[in-house]
Structure 1
Amino acid sequence: MSSAIQLSKRFREVMLDGLWIANTNFKDQLSDVTWEQAITKIGSLNTIAMLAFHIDYYIAGVLQVFEGGVLEIKDKFSFDLPPVESQEQWEKILNKLWADSERFAELLEQMSDNKLSEVFVDEKYGTYQRNIDGMIEHCYYHLGQITLIKKMITHP
């Protein structure tokens, strides 16, 4: 199995369907969260909606590069979630997250192992491999936060 396919499986595990590392994934954790829960603020923590938006912001930004575009994302904008005021708006955020995640995984599967060792956009960012590994680790980090915040909201 190629390295790209292995990375794609790891990415899908954290985002869409895996149970191996955390015994859960984004889709599993967010599937029953209402929009009211998603925007519930607990102290100084980010909301679930903000974290879902934040992760998709980075997935979509890197996906743009995978599709031949330029890297336009900026850290300072990664939490700029527009107000979520309905279940429909929340579901739109989730549907974008699932679609971007699936497309990211599909394009990753098609990468050659040589591509993984190439520079990602600029030498300061390292290789494609490093950025994909970082994306997976970043997703797990925020999955843990979402899981804890969800427990605080649903089991106060």
Structure 2
Amino acid sequence: MKKTIELANRFREIIINGTWIANTNYKDQLENLDWKIAVSKIDSLNTIAIIAQHVHYFVNGIKNVFDGGNLEIRDKYSFDFPEIKSKSEWKSFLTKFWEDAENLAKCIEQLPDEKLNQGFVDVKYGTYKRNIDGLIEHSYYHLGQIVLIKKIIFARQ
């Protein structure tokens, strides 16, 4: 199997459909989550919605590079999102998150294996492989936060 297909499948696993590493994924945790819970503030923690939007921000930013665009994402803006104020806004965001994640997975699959060790936009950002692996690892980190925040919210109800 091509290395890029393996990476694409690992990415899908964390966002859309896997259970191998964390026994869950973003879609499993968020798809049927009431929007009011997603935007519930617990002490100084980010909300589930903000964390999900943060991960989506990086998915979109990396996909933009695969589409031939510039690397426009910046850490300092990665938590700045308009507040989700309704069920329809939450559902709309989730639909976009799943679509964008699948589109990025397809881009990763189509990448020639030789490109994995080439510079991602600029040498200072590392290689394509490092960025894809970083996105996967970063997504697992935040998935853990979502799971814990949900447990806190449900324990307080």
| TM bracket (short chain) | over 0.9
TM-score, length-scaled by structure 1: 0.98
Q: State the match for 1:76 in structure 2.
A: 76
Q: State the match for 1:133 in structure 2.
A: 133
TM-score, length-scaled by structure 2: 0.97
Q: State the match for 1:59 in structure 2.
A: 59
CA distance in 2, matches of 1:135, 1:69: 18
Deviation at 1:153, TM superposition (A): 1.2
CA distance in 2, matches of 1:74, 1:15: 21
Q: Tell me which amino acid in the other structure corresponds to 1:48.
A: I
Query: 1:72 aligns to what SS in structure 2?
Result: coil
CA distance in 2, matches of 1:92, 1:99: 11
* Runs of 5+ unmatched residues, structure 1: none
Q: Tell me which amino acid in the other structure corresponds to 2:69.
A: G
Q: State the match for 1:16 in structure 2.
A: 16
CA distance in 2, matches of 1:146, 1:89: 19
Q: State the match for 1:101 in structure 2.
A: 101
Q: State the match for 1:148 in structure 2.
A: 148
Deviation at 1:35, TM superposition (A): 1.1
Q: Where do residues 85-124 of structure 1 align in structure 2 (5 Å cutoff)?
A: 85-124=85-124
CA distance in 2, matches of 1:62, 1:36: 29
CA distance in 2, matches of 1:121, 1:15: 24
* Runs of 5+ unmatched residues, structure 2: none
Show CA shifts across 1:71-97 (max 9, x none): 111111111110111000111111111
Deviation at 1:25, TM superposition (A): 0.2
Deviation at 1:155, TM superposition (A): 2.6
- Runs of 4+ in structure 1 over 2 Å off: none
Give the root-mean-square deviation of aligned CA atoms.
Answer: 0.7
Show CA shifts across 1:38-93 (max 9, x none): 11011111100000100000000000000111111111111111011100011111
Q: Tell me which amino acid in the other structure corresponds to 2:73.
A: I
Q: Tell me which amino acid in the other structure corresponds to 1:3.
A: K
Q: Tell me which amino acid in the other structure corresponds to 2:95.
A: N
